[in-house]
Structure formats: C-alpha cells, structure tokens
Structure 1
Amino acid sequence: MECTLSKSADDTKLYDAVDMLEGRDAIQRDLDRFERWARANLMESNKAKCKDLHAGRANPKHKYRLGGEWIESSLEKNNLGVLVDEKLNTTWQCMLAVQKANLILGCIKRSMASKLREVILPLYSALVRPHCASVQPKVK
C-alpha cells in the first residue's frame, strides 16, 4: 500500500494527502489492491457503505472506484464516534449532542413530580451529562 490504511473491527479507512494527480492515482491503485485482496480472501466490502470524504480547502475532490462502482462522496463522516465534516469541523456533532441533552433534560423535567435537587441531580448526572461531555473541552 502506498497510502495509509487503518483497520478496526468492522471498518477500513484508506487515506492520503492528494494535491496532484499522482496522489489520486496512488489512492486508486490502493483501492484496486484492496479489492483484489478482499476477493482473494473471500471478504466482501459493503460498497453501499463506502464513502469518500474530501477534506481541506484546496481539495480537487477526485472520484474513486471500488471494484467497478464509483464511491459516493460524503459531506461528513463518523470516525470513532466523532462526526467530522470536510473542513475537519465538529460543530455539527456539538449541536446534535446539545439537542439530545436538552431533549433528555426536558423529559426529566416533565416526568418528575419532585423538583428537589437530591432527585434531579442524579438523573442529570446519569442521563444528560454524558451527552455534554463530548461538547465541553476536557480540562487537565
């Protein structure tokens, strides 16, 4: 492989910096190698789930094939639980986390008869705070 290939339990990522046609060709060659390797090892890749994320401002947004099928481009990608867009921005994930936390908080407020701190705080800590942890910066 000429490009970087990372493999986890059920996910494979192939990536590289592409600024010239040689970089595009290297990625396509590696995709072809991966397809041949998968076929030889009786592994199937779900081509419908294969997505191409173009990151960076000056990205030429080349199209790639896996097997005989074109890979669909995506505006965002979930990578190990982090939703990242083509500008490597996580704002969308933060908005989704806040929205989910607010929905849970509203549910707690509507369903609890008691508004005592001793009742609400454990529910908030267990149900709402985990969603906010991905939004707040970690303090060392």
Structure 2
Amino acid sequence: MIRGLEHLCYEDRLRELGLFSLGKRRLWGDLVAAFQYLNGAYRKAGEILFTKACSDRMRGNGFKLEKRRFRLDIRKKFFPMRVVEHWNRLPREVVEAPSLEIFKVRLDKALGNLVELGVSLLTAGRLD
C-alpha cells in the first residue's frame, strides 16, 4: 500500500496514481492483441479469428468487425467475442494507426478520455 492513500477507495487511488482499473488494463491488452491479429505479425490467424463487417454505411471507424452468434453462452467469454464490441466503438484514428506503437499511444488517449469523463466500463456493465 502506498503511504497516504490507505484511506481512499480503489477508484480514488487509481485516479490519484493515474492508473487504469484491472478491467481496463485487460481491455487494453485485448485491443492491442486484436490490432496485432488484424494488422501485425499475426495477420493470418486474425483472418480466422475475426470477420470484417460488410457494410458501406458505418459510423465511427471504417474497420468494423462482425460479432458471430453461437448457441453456447460460454463462448461470449472467448477473446474474439470479448473484443469485437469494444473494437467497433474505437475512434477511426485509433483503429487506422500505421504501427503498433502509435496504436498504443492513441488507445491510451481514447481510454484516458473515459477516465477523465468519469465513465467506468465496469460500472456500465461492459466488462465481466
């Protein structure tokens, strides 16, 4: 425990230290991995894991992914299912980053805006 922060609740300690919650760090890692699967070194595996949405009318980024349907409820916890909804909500400049390092910087900024606005993915029920 860091001295002087013992009396603060978890969210206040994170805000004071400038850190993301565990849920947001997991989401950050998932989105970085998805970027690598879609654009980077693992592109062939990404073609198997993800399906691009075929539509001319898209808001936000132009690189939307299609969410598959499965009969088993347990599949919603798998990596490709977990990441699709969050990927589709990312701004265009984040998704169309030319390199992994630029993607990470832009993703930090996009997730940082969520923290500054006081929007928590955990309280919104977006992360399980």
Q: TM-score range by the shorter chain?
A: under 0.3
Query: Normalising by the residue count of structure 2, what TM-score does the alignment of the two structures yield?
Result: 0.27
**Which one has a larger percent helix, Structure 1 or Structure 2?**
2
- Flag the structure with more relative contact order, 1 or 2, with Cα contacts below 8 A and sequence separation at least 6: 2
**Greater Rg by CA:** 1
Query: Normalising by the residue count of structure 1, what TM-score does the alignment of the two structures yield?
Result: 0.26
